[in-house]
Structure 1
Amino acid sequence: MSPPCPARAAEDQPPAPQPTGERAPVADPGATVPRQKDGTARPRTFAAEGGGALPDPLDHPDPAAAAEAAAVENLLRCWVRETGLGRPAGPVLRIPLRASGTALLVPVRYWSPAGWHRFAQARLEGAPAGAPAVDAVTLAALISREGPRTATAPGAPGAHAAPGEHGGSDLVGRVADSVHRTAEFIADRRRRPTAPATVALDRFLSAEQSLLLGHPLHPTPKSREELSAAEVRRYSPELHGSFPLHWMAVAPSALATDSAWTERGRPIPAAQLLGRLAPGLPLPAGTTPLPLHPWQARDLLQRPAVAALLDAGLLHDLGPYGEPWYPTSSIRTAHRPGAPAMLKLSLGLRITNSRRENLRKELHRGVEVHRLLRTGLAEQWQASHPGFDIVRDPAWLAVDAPDGSPVPGLDVLLRHNPFRSGDDALCIAALTAPRPWPGRTAMRSRLAETVSRLAAATGRTTAAVSAEWFLRYLDHVVLPVLAFDALAGIALEAHQQNTLVLLDPAGWPVGGRYRDNQGYYFRDSHRAELERRLPGIGSTSDTFVPDAVTDERFAYYLGINNVLGLIGAFGSQRLADERVLLAAFRRFLGKAADLGPLPAQLLDSPTLRCKANLLTRLGGLDELVGPVDTQSVYVTITNPLHD
């Protein structure tokens, strides 16, 4: 881990940049973004392709208008990608709506080869002059009428994704809720751009609570329909929420647990770890503590299976207890600065495309991966990539019914907390997410702030700094993930929220971390080798996947979501020319050709399979239910890396 950096009062604002000599400067690939006297970029205006400069709608003084604009752009980006619409010949994109007998006309502010397009307000074709623009809810309703079967991209979803009434109405309602929540988050962050002291002093937590807009290619990134207004404020990382955990006590006959957690070579049971996190918690004799998310605890008490356990004395409701915990970007994983563990809690809310309750096989998977890495695999891997590691999930505790079956939602996963307060570690989604900053009127991302400060400190152009930053990211974060697949036959679901980058005091990438007990793909072709390393591997975790499915998912999560998403952020935020970064990525993949099948797949295939979040939502699919190869809708898109 990188050495601690001085704590800051302002929310994860980059420290004063310092020169670094790790990589020789790259040639300047373009002109710099205009900067103000303090060296930061001026508030953004976008020139609609073929038109004049326009203010960025995300900077609108009305938070509701900014949230509306963000939601419309998300829906349009999703529909463009998932239906195979190409770049228009002129400055306006025409989107046919055949089921409604009309079309949308959308001025293009910026067309991104990687998919992070920027659009102006959409209007219905033929609408009279002065007619209002199409809002997000109306756009969602229009898209819902079209349905997944209108997707024209090769390999569009088949019958399994056909929407029912639930899919369309569900999308409209969740879009409305997401817009409302986003407006609340923007308004609050503009009022309070500096985080509370406890959050500001922990740079990892500060970054985790900075994703105001969410996934730029998801239709409902901030929907939380089941939460009341008071619960949104209490449980949302975007509002710096915090809460004490709700505790239960589990009788020995109902307890299910496993732990590979060690300290100084000694195994530590999950129950002992949990006891340390709530000193003084009054427990009935012989029972084990179990922490729950407060919302989950209230919901569980309404379930007959849980009521039966309480009536039988196998479960005891102890209520809220202890110091506050803070939600991270996933909402359900709780962090407390200085605690040795983070807690991945079950939470039956619909967040993005799934209800987020832990599956028993996923709890087994986290411990299994930790044990696998301790067979010598981690040392072998990190001999060449010492700056990258997997955040371990080595212990869990759950509840079984009297018949031995798991009780859904009554569980907790204990995750290592490797981050000290000064470690500048943030997931890529937090790096690229626009938000207000102290003393700023415009929405800016941490990426834009970092690049601008480095440019000002070095006297180089923003484009040149962006290119060097990107190259270092490939070396320190992407290369180790490819190497792990080549070494072990394990692909990581390394999307932007699961992948963290470690920055040095100047803001350059120096390492990375992967986190997620769910997102491992053990290749069937490596089953025998992995079985030799850890006998019985995969028997309870259900982690082995056919190589063809692994290749598809790895290409999406690491190639499209992570790296192309980062390239799209550089381009759409006017930090660099995407074509230059795509060329750099191609050169990198060429040099990494011996690290598994992914580099050749990304370089040679004219098309790629891509997860379709909008069509998945229209299809009413829960990504945690069913076989891994049918949990989401995938479509075929043009590969921007292919010559």
Structure 2
Amino acid sequence: MSTALTGAPPDVPARRPAPARPAAATAVDPDPLLHPDPAVAAEQAGLEALLRCWARETGALPGRDGRLRIAVLGGAARLCAPVRYWSPAGWHRFGPATLSAGDGTADAPVDAVTAAALIAAAAADRPDPGQVADLAARVADSVVRTADILAHRRTAAAPGGPEASHFLAAEQSLLLGHPLHPTPKSRDGLGPAQSAAYSPELHGSFQLHWYAVDRELLAAGSALSESADLITAGLLGGRTPLPPGTAALPLHPWQARELAVRPAVADLLADGLLHDLGPAGEAWYPTSSVRTVYRPGTPWMLKLSLGLRITNSRRENLRKELHRGLEMHRLLESGLADEWRAAHPGFDVVRDPAWIGVDHPALGDPGGLDTVLRAQPFAPADRALCVAGLVAEQPLGTGETVPSRLGDTLRALAARSGRPLPTVAAEWFLRYLDAVVLPVLWLDGRAGIALEAHQQNSLVLLDADGWPTGGRYRDNQGFYYRQSAAERLTARLPGLGARSDTFLADEVIDHHFAYYLGINHVLGLIGALGSQGLADEAVLLAALRGFLSGSRAAATGSALPALLLDAATLPCKANLLTRINGMDELVGPVATQSVYVDIPNPVAGA
């Protein structure tokens, strides 16, 4: 077993030869994700996510009979699942799993929770019972929430009114979550009523909870002419008066209840330095990250601190991230954005130009009271779609194949043009690379700024027909400044990085950039197109090679195209192993926040 499976990530992951690609199995049985019982479909979704993680993180391949087998219980049994589709990019599809003892007894069906416990114990030389139990519990939580989501979406009408924007609809489309995460819908600490209000997939909405903070404790920053406290006062509105000498602080309602029992916050409330104003204002809508909220008609979104453990991390804003958002806005406005737009006019960063919170020694960092003010640049008619939502499977229980928003778009384009669906899909993919991927490479190579551009952090702009025309990047956690570019970046903005802790060694950035843009984003898009029957992954991988080896990609100056073209293996975040090791991806140095393994590079092998 690889040493990368036993604990913290090694400094230099071991290189593994690329295996021969097994042929895709022919799926003749009904797709289990479309089972009429949402609980059964949710179990299957949870199981498939686990098996995809295992296959990617261990290099496991199916046998000649088209079945994936995992040795469990110290080799005394095998966890087996038929392969419905084997994806060169990793978006495999499986049938129901069984447990075989190898002693002639009949195979027994296995649910996702049992599979999680077996896999967790098999993934380490000395499994930690606490981590095995934690993974199993969180898989159970994820499966139950997925069942609730599918039950709701199979019966509830889509919302109307101003909230029915293209932007919000895509944010609410991640019904199954990250396809390569073992607990994609785990939200540890949300009860059923809270889940209904706070979950984007359940069309949730809620009023913000407001505190008033005494100005002697007010912490805020703004890269705009308008201060953060003036912005939040406008969002609160005049119907809820502020006590004299205070500023308005918006909070997630779950967070407000949690904070009230934290000793440091309870003391500030008791001393009158914080005032609990309660819920107020119009409804806000959670987006795909759960904690970032959107309200139609306002120029702002809010990235709220939220102490829930969502996937691997508790989502409370760190001060360095708040400073990073202001820095990036100022850096772009220094002239860099003009240069970028001259080369790629359809792409930009969604800005986080202001923040507001509370300063007190007892709070620490994160203190749980800091909120990001994010610019909201999209009109209701704009087709600005979260890429993860666009490609996400929508198992609504009808038809023969699992649909997606991307599949619907491509089928409409093919019908309109009279061309074959795979041909249209390949053209759409190439246009996407030009509109969304090329600008990110330009910013890396020309400016020395790498974006953590995974699919949930990335938006694609579509024209009225559905063709890609541009994109946006969001998330003040995910900017990396290259150490090799420090001189020219600090010349643009003196003092850059001093408070944001954003400069990283080039080799660390190369490692993470290859995963986030190369594997998660681009290969994830290829895997979605292939697994959903929209295109041949081999054709798309060849198209990607042509793009990466072309003059426009080379002109960006980014090192990523050459790495994707030539490297035998690529560094890949191992979400299952990260979870089994109990790691919080927002804690500690960037280089060691997650377990990484090397996986065969399908681009080099195309």
- State the TM-score, normalizing by the size of structure 2: 0.93
- Name the aligned partner's letter for residue 250 of structure 2: P
Identity %: 61
Q: What aligned pairs does 1:314-333 form with structure 2 within 5 A after superposition? A: 314-333=273-292
Residues 32, 96 of structure 2: 8 Å contact kept: no
The unaligned stretches of length 5 or more in structure 1 are 1-47, 150-161, 262-266
Residues 194 and 438, structure 1, Cα contact 8 Å, conserved in 2: no
Give 1:225 deviation, angstroms: 2.5
Counterpart for residue 79 of structure 2 = 104
What amino acid maps onto 2:130 in structure 1?
A: H
In structure 2, how many angstroms separate the alpha carbons of the residues matched to 1:357 and 1:139?
31
Q: How much has 1:437 moved relative to structure 2?
A: 6.5
Given that 1:148 and 1:619 are in contact with CA atoms closer than 8 Å, whether structure 2 keeps it comes out as no
Deviations 1:335-385 (A, max 9, x none): 000111000000000111100000010000001100000000000111010
CA distance change for structure 1 residues 104 and 310 in 2, over 3 Å: closer, same or farther?
Answer: same
Summarize the Cα distance change of 1:635–1:193 in structure 2 as closer, same or farther, 3 Å threshold: farther
SS in 2 for 1:54: coil
Of residues 241, 248, 252, the one that matches 2:204 is 241
Q: Which residue of 2 aligns with 1:279?
A: 237
Deviation at 1:407, TM superposition (A): 6.2
Partner of 2:110: 134
Q: CA deviation at 1:193?
A: 4.3
2:35 aligned to 48, 60, 68, which one?
60
- Listed one character per residue, the Cα deviations across residues 299-330 of structure 1 (whole Å, up to 9, x for unaligned) are 00010110121122211111111111000000
Residue 475 in structure 1 maps to residue 458 in structure 2? no
- 2:35 and 2:370 map into 1 onto residues whose CA distance is 43
Query: 166, 172, 180: which one pairs with 2:136?
Result: 172
1:503 and 2:468 aligned: no
The equivalent position to 1:589 in structure 2, one of 544, 548, 552, is: 548
CA distance in 1, matches of 2:243, 2:514: 50
- In structure 1, distance between residues paired with 2:526 and 2:366: 43
AA aligned opposite 1:269? S
Q: Quote the Cα distance in structure 1 between the aligned partners of 2:171 and 2:67.
A: 36
The alpha-carbon distance between structure 1 residues 124 and 406, as it changes in their structure 2 partners (threshold 3 A), is: closer
Matched, 1:192 2:156: yes
- Report Cα offsets for 1:126-174 as digits up to 9, x if no partner: 476765421100000101211345xxxxxxxxxxxx8633321110000
In 2, Cα distance between equivalents of 1:252 and 1:91: 65
Corresponding position of 1:143: 119
Deviations 1:413-450 (Å, cap 9, x if unpaired)? 00000010001111111011122569868641001101
The amino acid that maps onto 2:123 is G
Aligned residues: 578
Give the conservation status (yes or no) of the 8 Å contact 1:49–1:90: no
Q: Is the 8 A contact 2:305 2:316 kept in 1?
A: yes
Q: State the partner residue of 1:34.
A: none
Deviation readout 1:442-493 (Å, 9 max, x if unpaired): 6410011011111111110010000000000000000000000011101000
- Counterpart CA distance in 1 for 2:120 and 2:522 is 30
State the shift of 1:252 in Å: 1.2
Q: Offset of 1:94 from its aligned partner?
A: 2.1
Question: Match for 1:564: what amino acid?
Answer: L
CA pair 51-334 structure 1, distance change in 2 beyond 3 A: closer
Structure 1 residue 588: Cα displacement: 0.5
Distance 1:317 1:63, change over 3 A: same
Picking from 364, 368, 377, the partner of 1:418 is: 377
Matched AA of 2:582: G
- CA distance, structure 2, for counterparts of residue 290 and residue 100 of structure 1: 56
Q: Distance in 2 between matches of 1:438 and 1:148?
A: 37
* Cα deviation, residue 616, structure 1: 0.3
Structure 1-normalised TM-score?
A: 0.87
State the Cα deviation string for residues 51-95 of structure 1 (Å, max 9, x = none): 661111111000001001111000000001001113533322222
AA in 2 matched with 1:142: L
Aligned in 2, Cα 1:50/1:623: closer, same or farther, shift over 3 Å?
A: closer
How many angstroms does 1:97 deviate by? Answer: 2.3
Give the stretch that moved more between structures: 68-77 or 164-173.
164-173
Distance 1:197 1:130, change over 3 A: farther
Contact 2:162 2:380 (C-alpha < 8 Å) held by counterparts: no
5 Å matches for 1:411-450?
411-435=370-394, 443-450=402-409
Other-structure match for 1:547:
506
| Alpha carbons 1:399, 1:407 under 8 Å: kept | no
Match of 2:597 among 622, 627, 635: 635
Match of 2:523 among 564, 576, 595: 564
Matches within 5 A, 1:190-589: 190-200=154-164, 202-261=165-224, 267-280=225-238, 281-401=240-360, 408-435=367-394, 443-589=402-548
**CA positional deviation for 1:219:** 0.5
Equivalent residue, structure 2, for 1:153: none
Q: Is the 8 A contact 2:387 2:459 kept in 1?
A: yes
Paired AA for residue 185 in structure 2:
K
Q: Which runs of 5+ in 2 are unaligned?
A: 1-22
Return closer, same or farther for 1:72/1:404 CA change in 2, 3 Å cut-off: closer
Corresponding residue SS for 2:276: strand
Q: Which residue matches 2:560?
A: 598
